[in-house]
Amino acid sequence: MNKKTIVMTGATSGFGIDWFKSVSQDDNTSVFILARDELKFNQLLLTIPMITRTNIQFVYCELSSLSSIVNAIKHVKTMVASVDVLINNAGIFPNDNPCFNDDDIELTFVVNHLAPLLITLLLKDKLILSDSPKVINTSSFQHFNAKLTLDDMSFKRSKFNAMLAYRNSKLCITLSTLYSEHFISPNITVCCFDPGIVDTNMTKDAIPTFLNWAYPTIRRFFRDGVKGAQTGIHLTNIQNDRIVPGSYYRDMVIKEPSKDAQSLLIAERLHKVSMALLEPYL
């Protein structure tokens, strides 16, 4: 039996840890973790059974750098014949002031949307070679309150708002999931999901500063990592014919995303903007 191959981002923190532990349990699965902190990865590796550790590989990747992503995917492609599951889970919540990458693109837009789109496009040829390929993107209910300005995604002409930047990025990945049939093979099943409010460092960062004192109490109402990862794990494990392509899930069932997230016109316009930024790296 051929080994199943999974490529994953966002495995070393938050509910991604629980998701990673789930997918790494099968000794017939090879998992490639794209991450920048190898020490954190090695510490995580110690928490899984010895028998499966040899199937897990760290691949250095700085997701804010599009050139780093290209180099990482080139490395992965030298080691795999095909990719069965791509998990785009990594995400950031920005600081109050905008930060930009080497291409002068705002980091939230890069890490939460452009990075997973670029990874998907670069791995398309390996995904097609799988008998049952799928891509799982992590979205958020926060996309319901997004307000996209497609000609100013980096807030160059408008005042930066950290929460809006995050919400916009999650609408972008939801739209990209919807539009996926237009830019990758129809044989590749693409879906996204909302993990809910999970008790993670990123969630803590998103809490207004004046409420920091209350976080120890507030966090008791949030989901733990296992619950946050539940839908992602479900989508990873089920057969592709049980997944509706381009769909948005929560609590292991399809949910209706926002009105904007269902607009093919907005999705097409976003894709054109995104591809113009990614073109030098494809």
In the block, which residue shows the tokens 């009105």?
Answer: 259
Q: Which two tokens stand for residue 273?
A: 């903007």
Task: For Cα atoms 86, 89, 90, give the angle at the middle one, nearest 5 degrees.
Answer: 125
Q: In whole angstroms, what is the distance from residue 99 CA to residue 225 CA?
A: 28
More confident residue, 80 or 2: 80
Residue 211: predicted pLDDT: 59
Over residues 226-236, mean pLDDT: 96
Q: Which structural domains are found in the chain, ordered by start?
A: 4-281 (3.40.50.720)
Residue 272: pLDDT band by 50, 70, 90 thresholds?
Answer: very high
| Whether the predicted pLDDT of 203 surpasses 80 | no
- Evaluate whether 200 touches 220 at the Cβ level (below 8 Å): no
Residue 132: predicted pLDDT: 96
End-to-end CA distance of the chain: 33
- Smallest CA-to-CA distance from 98 within 167, 150, 166, 170 is with 166
Over residues 63-79, mean pLDDT: 98
Residue 196: predicted pLDDT: 87
Which of 11-25, 78-92, 139-153, 215-229 is predicted with the least confidence, judged by mean pLDDT?
A: 215-229
Residue 206: predicted pLDDT: 64
- Smallest CA-to-CA distance from 236 within 203, 185, 191 is with 191
* Cα radius of gyration rounded to whole Å, the chain: 18
| Whether the predicted pLDDT of 213 surpasses 60 | no
Exposed, middle or buried, 169 (CB in 10 Å: 0-12/13-18/19+)? buried
In the block, which residue shows the tokens 């904007």?
Answer: 260
Residue 223: predicted pLDDT: 75
Residue 70: predicted pLDDT: 98
Residue 167: pLDDT band by 50, 70, 90 thresholds?
Answer: very high
Residue 207: pLDDT band by 50, 70, 90 thresholds?
Answer: low
Q: What are phi and psi of 189, to 5 degrees?
A: -85, 125
Say which amino acid occupies 265. Answer: L
Q: What are phi and psi of 249, to 5 degrees?
A: -115, 155
Q: Which residues contact 81 (CB under 8 A, 6 or more apart)?
A: 5, 126, 129
- Evaluate whether 66 touches 101 at the Cβ level (below 8 Å): yes
Residues forming a β-bridge with 250: 194, 253
- Smallest CA-to-CA distance from 109 within 249, 55, 62, 117 is with 117
Q: In whole angstroms, what is the distance from residue 167 CA to residue 171 CA?
A: 6
Task: For Cα atoms 183, 264, 122, give the angle at the middle one, nearest 5 degrees.
Answer: 20
